[in-house]
Homo-oligomer: A and B are copies of this chain.
Amino acid sequence: MKGPPAAQIAAIDVEFTLDLGGSLPSVSIAYETWGELNEERSNCILVVPAFSANCHARSSDLDPSPGWWEHFIGPGLAIDIERFFVVCPSLLAGCHGTTGPLSTNPTATNKNYEGGFPLVTIGDIARCHLLLLDALNIETAYAICGGSMGAMQSLEIGLHHGRRVQRVVAISGTDRTRPATAAIRHLGRRAILLDPAFKNGFYGANGPEGGLRLAREVGTVFYRSKKEFNDRFAWQPIATPSLSETTFDVQSYLAHQGAKMVGRFDANSYLRLSLAMDLHDLSRQGTECSPVIPKFYIGGVEEDRLMPIDEQIALHEALLASGAASHMAKFSSPVGHDAFLVKHDKIGQFIGDALGKQEAP
């Protein structure tokens, strides 16, 4: 799977060692940029994607389709591209142009990795982003920003590679995955593994579409909120009750979300990124905090069912206790965990404030 139309590729021709063992002989990183890097190379903002997103965070002349943070990135917006040089990479082990299961394995077989792609951690994904900063000759980014899995990556870089960023904006993330959240992600992986089309990950062009669809439907229930579903969808059946068809409005919505995943996502990537999130643990053994600690801006949403706001509060308090500068904002949105992906004025303002609207980078 190639990156989105406007993606550039940074080909990094060095062996990339992985946290869980093994290595990749090289990595290619798909990324897009907006705005101009200043002479001091000090105005870079790294925007990092959540689980299913790619490097197309915003539209451009080359690719005018709306990006996933179109409402936050742009001239005069929270992440102001008249002021900042914004860089968004696709994720390692994903399926949007950066090295992953759909890439050619240059050493072993010269076929695609497919089910042979190794397991990765959030730490690996974060180090891959740093290789891109290296390639762009940027020593220290002004900030890194992300929501959900993007928040995990941002925290990982902020805590373990603190000299590479000055500010960390992490919305709806967590310091470490709880069993209750791992239980949810387990369901999605199970759906893919149970699909006979999965074939241990070696499925060529005929992937486990049913499993991937169901995995996304499970996710959608947790990405959104109870309140949204009850307010938005009809309570009465919209059709004659039936087992195989859609009896309720909300079923159509879930089916639609599931179907949208097919064709734009790869099951092997799904499994690896999902497990990477489960393994996310900023305090795991063997990792050391960076001696240079950036400023943290932690946001959480009251209605979040996937990584509840208690986790962002605990994270913020742990940062303060460790002596870091941390600012916390609590938001409310019927959208729940996914609130950072929709237009939300207070979240936009929080990001803008975190980036210091009045300061020069």
- Residues of A with Cβ closer than 8 Å to B? 20, 119, 176-180, 182-184, 186-187, 189-191, 193-196, 210-211, 213-214, 217-218, 221, 226-227, 229-230, 232-237, 241-244, 247-251, 254, 271-272, 275, 278-279, 281, 308
Q: Are A180 and B230 in contact (CB under 8 A)?
A: yes
Min CB distance A317 to B, Å, is: 17
> Given that A210-B194, A235-B178 are contacting pairs, would A217 and B187 also be in contact in the complex, using a CB cutoff of 8 Å?
yes
The answer to whether A254 touches B186, judged by C-beta atoms less than 8 angstroms apart, is yes
Which of these, B226, B254, B278, B308, contacts A248 with CB under 8 Å?
A: B278
Contacts of A244 in B (CB 8 A): 193
Q: Give bound CA distance, A233 to B182, whole Å.
A: 10
Query: Which of A184, A217, A242, A250 has the most chain B CB atoms closer than 10 A to its own CB?
Result: A250
Contact between A243 and B275, CB atoms less than 8 A apart: yes
A181 to chain B, nearest CB (A): 8
Query: Which residues on B sit within 8 Å (CB–CB) of A189?
Result: 243
What are the residues of chain B within 8 A of A196 when measuring CB–CB?
Answer: 196
Q: Which residue of B lies closest to A209 (CB)?
A: B194
Instruction: List the B side residues contacting A271 at CB < 8 Å.
Output: 243
Within the complex, which residue of B179, B191, B236, B254 is in contact with A183, where a contact is CB–CB below 8 Å?
B254
Whole-angstrom CA separation of A248 from B190 in the bound complex: 14
Q: Return chain B residues, CB-CB under 8 Å to A237.
A: 279
Q: Does the CB pair A186–B308 fall under 8 Å?
A: no
- Taking the closest CB of chain B, its distance from the CB of A280, in whole angstroms, is 11
B194 touches A248 (CB 8 A): no
Alpha-carbon distance between A195 and B244 when the two chains are bound, in angstroms: 13
Asked if A178 and B119 sit within 8 Å, CB to CB, the answer is no
When the two chains form their complex, are residues A217 and B186 in contact, meaning their CB atoms are under 8 A apart? yes
Inter-chain contacts of A249 with B (CB < 8 A)? 179
A190 touches B178 (CB 8 A): no
Residues of B within 8 A of A217 (CB): 186-187, 190
Select the residue from A195, A213, A241 with max chain B CB neighbours within 10 A.
Answer: A241
